[in-house]
Structure 1
């Protein structure tokens, strides 16, 4: 299995990867995202503008129809007009008088005032009314016309829009005041097609407009390729490609129900502004691409060339050729590295030629001399001689019946043997307690009945390991400095227990104690780094070893009062 590491890639390739990941890809992505976001924003804005333009066009178209509806409702609700139309005239003169008095003015005013009104015609079945101007007879031929049949079949009370062969008409029955009248009156307003054509041509919508009826057939369009014949084209037949954006709005009025204004806009027009700025975006991308490329190429060449030159000279040093690199004026890190390499090369060559070999020979001789001295010192002390001497004294004491003396010598031998044993820095609590018992027995032999001691150790803690001779120096200090100077019988209590995850060693004596000043002096001495020639050396050594072994996890406390004894507590993390 091959373990890949980025450090295995050559510097030139690293710079190339850095260029691709940090310059090329970000520039390409930035320009692509910028172009896409810009195109999307412009497209959305154009769509919003197109919807607004379509709403404006449909509002203007609605205004045209509303004018025709307003005229029809005027005649529909005008009582005087309806009364004249339903009246039976005895002579033509009486009708002409009524026409001139009441009908000519309104009929001519509406036709001339509203540009949207092309022609206003009232069809009536009243035979006593003369046909002239805007009034026509409702004959059989008229009733057979498509617009009349469509209106008559619909039975609508409100105005209705009728479209046929490119012409719009607004039709309204005039029977509001006398529905039981024997006469029928129909108002037909033909809208001005030129006015509607102008309305569509001046629409702010940038695209083709199609006005469709309830049957979805095109009634009006701005598309020059849409040809209206006898039968209007179906809007569904208009081809809409993928680059076309369709719009649709329905006319809301009751009389225009089913009529819809459609708009089709070419997406290329929507993105026309983006396409206009495409060259600018392209030039900007080229600048963003070429300029960093040139800068990075120059920096890469500057770094790579000089590092390769240093590497070549380092390989020469490996083969024993101490050739300095030709100096060039450069103050960057590589230039400083070149200067230091030349200085190092000259220094190594000087050491090899003048000092290095002689110094190595001298140090080798000195090392051999010190090793010889150390072996000589080791050979001068033979612990077995001391053990044999102590054993001889112990046996002699037994032969003379001095069993107590023999026991003390055996305890002293155990202490001596354990203290000089090499290679065993950690011992069990059981072994440490055995060593403490030996020491206390010796002290008891010395003081007689003046010293008593008690030791309590939790059974499950006896196999825990601690640094060798951790507790003994503190027991020794309590015996010599606490009990020996006391005129009373001394008692040393040792308790080893568990508290949470800590091993707790408590040592209590009823000796002479000490005041607060002495206590602070001892604590300060224990925490000093330097050695001082004074008492409590064993306790300081034990404290220093505990601090080295347990670091911040070691806790030590000392409590004492004059005449009330001393209490030492040591907390250590439990190690099995």
Structure 2
């Protein structure tokens, strides 16, 4: 996989990345975060405002009910009122005097409480006159809903009920309480009803800023009052669970924990989009600001990018023409920035190269050619002055001294080096016998054996019929060298190199094998592919050199095979046609 490098990108793509990372992403993220923070703050503020509105409605309703409860508590413990309803009157005149002595004063207190409409008393005392706010507890009263619903709890604490009013609808709210504080054995039944003002609910629930529907629920979940126009709360009693609420509803509620309002609730229902009405304007402003922040930098960056990109492409276009020896100058205004300086430098370079080619290059080549020939002649003369025999004599002297000092192994290595050196001086021929090639291989292997001691062993097996056959010079030793250096030397443990040359009919079969480290599969495939496609294979240049020399001499009449496995070793097999005679084989 090709490794990604930033420098491989074009300048246009680099500038685009800079724009995205430095302008587009920061501005987009900044405004997105700002919008999200604004959205959350506005929504939280709206939720708090609406929650306060519900709390205020709940408090106002409780204050209105507390006024009635306060009056009921005061009258509940008033003995004079109890005595008024409990006494047995001999005549109507006696009741009238008692009524005006006390009940008239009670009625005047109603004006002190704006939420209270009137006070009514109910009794089963037959000696009183049922008029002026005093009513008889008869069968009709006992069969009424408010009487039955409050019967179980009105003796303990006041009960708020909604009953049918004078209009025939369930729109009258009253506080009902049993007057049993001074209860005696033969006491009559007495009930106090404090009726609330008809418009008190509208003033509490409608004169608010809550943008939704409000519901007043009793402890059983029945709607006692609502601002929802689709629910006729005054016509009948509806359960809150039966109401169809919006899908994106947001609900606020306040629950009462009072004996006379046990589990009553004030619920406000609104829609999510109502919470976000105020943020729409802010969202548009944020969008326009972000658009402006993106638009102007984008236009400016696009202009600069286009200027840089087009001018660089213009220079590259002329530089590619130079490859075809077209030294056309770049026309246009000479700008003073770096690209302008690069343009000017290219024009100067193109002019100078064109002038050098036309005026100097040819003459200079001729002068250099003469100089090269002169230096080559000097080198040849110098080389001819060196007597190779001097080197041989020196090596022979060192070898003899090693023998005298009984350093036989060192002497043997020096002898092999001298033999290899002598061969390198005298071999000017293309073809050698198998014996001559093997002689050089033995010298090399002895030197390697000296280096590695027992780590490297070798075995050579040559047929007598093959010894005098001719092969191309240096066609086997590169493989022996590879087996020693690349196969045995880096491997752990002892290594063995086997060399076998046999004559089979009119062919020579040469095989060189080792048990060294072998080649990786990828390296092996690379070597074989390079031989087939005649490509450069880098460090295996010796293999390639031998292969192409064999192909030059034998055309396609030879076989060349390589087998290698990592950790097992490498085997080279070469099958060559037998050359029986070569004029230049012995000099």
Regarding TM over 0.5, the answer is: yes
How does the TM-score come out when normalised to structure 2? 0.61
Decide whether aligned partners of structure 1 residues 368 and 119 sit closer, same or farther in structure 2, where only a CA change above 3 A counts.
Answer: farther
CA-CA distance at 1:345 after TM superposition = 1.6
Decide whether aligned partners of structure 1 residues 358 and 29 sit closer, same or farther in structure 2, where only a CA change above 3 A counts.
Answer: same
**Residue number in structure 2 paired with 1:284:** 289
**Residue number in structure 2 paired with 1:137:** 136
- The 5-angstrom pairing of residues 397-412 of structure 1 reads 406-407=404-405
1:47 aligns with 2:73: no
1:200 aligns with 2:205: yes
1:183 aligns with 2:181: no
**Residue number in structure 1 paired with 2:150:** 151
1:104 aligns with 2:109: no
CA distance in 1, matches of 2:305, 2:344: 21
Classify the secondary structure of the residue corresponding to 1:352. Answer: helix
| 1:374-428 Cα distance to aligned partner (Å, 9 max, x none) | 5554554557536536856997x9xxxxxx9943999998999999999x9xx99
CA distance in 2, matches of 1:390, 1:269: 107
**Residue number in structure 2 paired with 1:65:** 65
**Residue number in structure 1 paired with 2:483:** none
**Residue number in structure 1 paired with 2:267:** 262
CA distance in 1, matches of 2:62, 2:89: 39
- The 5-angstrom pairing of residues 478-557 of structure 1 reads none
Decide whether aligned partners of structure 1 residues 365 and 179 sit closer, same or farther in structure 2, where only a CA change above 3 A counts.
Answer: farther
CA distance in 1, matches of 2:284, 2:398: 111
Decide whether aligned partners of structure 1 residues 263 and 358 sit closer, same or farther in structure 2, where only a CA change above 3 A counts.
Answer: same
1:163 aligns with 2:166: no
Classify the secondary structure of the residue corresponding to 1:224. Answer: coil
**Residue number in structure 2 paired with 1:74:** 74
| 1:35-81 Cα distance to aligned partner (Å, 9 max, x none) | 45433432232122111111111111111111111221222233454
Decide whether aligned partners of structure 1 residues 301 and 431 sit closer, same or farther in structure 2, where only a CA change above 3 A counts.
Answer: closer
CA distance in 2, matches of 1:68, 1:394: 136
CA-CA distance at 1:358 after TM superposition = 3.6
Classify the secondary structure of the residue corresponding to 1:330. Answer: coil
**Residue number in structure 2 paired with 1:236:** 241
Classify the secondary structure of the residue corresponding to 2:44. Answer: helix
CA distance in 2, matches of 1:386, 1:301: 71
Decide whether aligned partners of structure 1 residues 91 and 417 sit closer, same or farther in structure 2, where only a CA change above 3 A counts.
Answer: farther
**Residue number in structure 2 paired with 1:337:** 342
| 1:13-51 Cα distance to aligned partner (Å, 9 max, x none) | 665566567655665565555445433432232122111
**Residue number in structure 2 paired with 1:544:** none
CA distance in 2, matches of 1:172, 1:210: 25
CA distance in 1, matches of 2:395, 2:318: 70
Decide whether aligned partners of structure 1 residues 352 and 171 sit closer, same or farther in structure 2, where only a CA change above 3 A counts.
Answer: same
Q: Is the 8 A contact 2:395 2:414 kept in 1?
A: no
Classify the secondary structure of the residue corresponding to 1:175. Answer: coil
Decide whether aligned partners of structure 1 residues 418 and 260 sit closer, same or farther in structure 2, where only a CA change above 3 A counts.
Answer: farther
CA distance in 2, matches of 1:408, 1:360: 59
CA-CA distance at 1:191 after TM superposition = 0.9
Q: Is the 8 A contact 1:390 1:409 kept in 2?
A: no
CA distance in 2, matches of 1:155, 1:241: 38
Classify the secondary structure of the residue corresponding to 1:231. Answer: coil
Q: Is the 8 A contact 1:116 1:196 kept in 2?
A: no
- The 5-angstrom pairing of residues 359-398 of structure 1 reads 359-370=364-375, 372-374=377-379, 376-377=381-382, 380-381=385-386, 385=390, 388=393, 391=396
CA distance in 2, matches of 1:405, 1:230: 136
CA distance in 1, matches of 2:379, 2:186: 147
Decide whether aligned partners of structure 1 residues 419 and 127 sit closer, same or farther in structure 2, where only a CA change above 3 A counts.
Answer: farther
* Paired residues, number: 425
**Residue number in structure 2 paired with 1:508:** none
**Residue number in structure 2 paired with 1:118:** 117
Q: Once structures 1 and 2 are overlaid, which stretch shifts more, 266-275 or 186-195?
A: 266-275
Task: Give the alignment partner of residue 248 of structure 1, picking from 250, 253, 272.
Answer: 253
CA distance in 1, matches of 2:304, 2:104: 95
Decide whether aligned partners of structure 1 residues 310 and 97 sit closer, same or farther in structure 2, where only a CA change above 3 A counts.
Answer: same
CA distance in 2, matches of 1:262, 1:185: 35
CA distance in 2, matches of 1:243, 1:143: 46
CA distance in 2, matches of 1:417, 1:354: 58
CA-CA distance at 1:260 after TM superposition = 2.1
CA-CA distance at 1:209 after TM superposition = 1.1
Classify the secondary structure of the residue corresponding to 1:239. Answer: coil
**Residue number in structure 2 paired with 1:272:** 277
**Residue number in structure 1 paired with 2:126:** 127
**Residue number in structure 2 paired with 1:347:** 352
CA distance in 1, matches of 2:302, 2:395: 85
CA distance in 1, matches of 2:398, 2:344: 74
Q: Is the 8 A contact 1:88 1:128 kept in 2?
A: yes
**Residue number in structure 1 paired with 2:462:** none
| 1:474-504 Cα distance to aligned partner (Å, 9 max, x none) | xxxxxxxxxxxxxxxxxxxxxxxxxxxxxxx
Q: Is the 8 A contact 1:387 1:413 kept in 2?
A: no
CA distance in 2, matches of 1:228, 1:304: 75
CA distance in 2, matches of 1:285, 1:109: 68
CA-CA distance at 1:317 after TM superposition = 2.0
Q: Once structures 1 and 2 are overlaid, which stretch shifts more, 186-195 or 71-80?
A: 71-80
CA distance in 1, matches of 2:388, 2:405: 20
Classify the secondary structure of the residue corresponding to 1:259. Answer: strand
| 1:512-566 Cα distance to aligned partner (Å, 9 max, x none) | xxxxxxxxxxxxxxxxxxxxxxxxxxxxxxxxxxxxxxxxxxxxxxxxxxxxxxx
How does the TM-score come out when normalised to structure 1? 0.62
Q: Once structures 1 and 2 are overlaid, which stretch shifts more, 131-140 or 300-309?
A: 131-140
CA distance in 2, matches of 1:163, 1:209: 17
- The 5-angstrom pairing of residues 556-571 of structure 1 reads none
